[in-house]
Amino acid sequence: MDAFVLQLPALLGVLIGALATYLAGQAAERSRWRRQQSVRWDEHRITTYTRYAHAVKKVIAVSVRLAAERGLAADDSALTPDYEVSDLAAAEEERTIMWEAVLMVGSERVVLAGRQWHQSVFQLMHLACGRPSDLSWAEAVAATGRARQRFYEAARGDIGIAAGSEPDAYEWQMSRWLRDQPAEPADGLAEIASRQRPE
């Protein structure tokens, strides 16, 4: 019995060491699992945000082309296909499908920024289809550019990529192009349309 009592501290030390090793291993395993899940969800978010941005861009491209046909916007018809309102409806339907995925995986900031972006695009759509709008074409383009920038900044922040300090990094080139254009009379649209359309 005396021998057991003498060995008890050593046995307790072994048991405590084994328990500590087990707990440390479990903690490391949980940490590794969380990292893997985080990477997996970041990859999924990147794909979701990219697909959504592409769908919105398609709506914008069709809107710009239709607006050009109405004489509201400059566009190089040699570089873009002919679109009809049904093409705009199809592009908008695709955007709404992609939006559901953003709602599922996006942070609150991304969802709010995405909603502001497509609501600003609605103004472009209304103008392109000849519907009334509170904004002029140039104002709608500028609002869309600002909303686009907020979406990209929010999406990058959501996946842990710094947005950067350059305020014009995500500026829509059409916004900049319109802002830099001198005021031209309506009959100058043909000349504008002959120029290369910005991205």
Dump pLDDT digits (tens) for 133-176: 889 998 999 999 999 999 999 999 998 887 666 766 667 777 76
Residue 106: what pLDDT?
A: 93
Q: Are 186 and 71 in contact (CB under 8 A)?
A: yes
Q: Is the pLDDT of residue 79 over 60?
A: no
Q: 84 or 2: which carries more pLDDT confidence? A: 84
Between CA 159 and CA 38 the distance in angstroms is: 9
| CA distances, 81 to each of 46, 52, 66, 112, 172 (Å) | 29, 22, 10, 32, 21
**8-state DSSP, 84:** -
Residues 6+ apart with CB under 8 A from 59: 88, 91, 92, 95, 118, 121, 124, 125
pLDDT at 109: 95
Six-digit token string for 86:
């049904």
Q: Which of 68-77, 113-122, 190-199 has the weakest average pLDDT?
A: 190-199
Q: What pLDDT sits at residue 62?
A: 92
The answer to whether residue 110 scores a pLDDT higher than 80 is yes
Distances 7 to 1, 2, 4, 12, 150 between C-alpha atoms, Å: 10, 9, 5, 9, 67
What is the Cα–Cα distance from 168 to 7, expressed in whole angstroms?
Answer: 72
Q: Which of 68-77, 98-107, 121-130, 142-151 has the lowest mean pLDDT?
A: 68-77
pTM metric for this prediction: 0.69
pLDDT in the model for residue 46: 93
Q: Measured between alpha carbons, how far is residue 171 from residues 105, 124, 145, 167 in Å?
A: 25, 17, 6, 8
CA distance linking residue 95 with residue 41, whole number of Å? 21
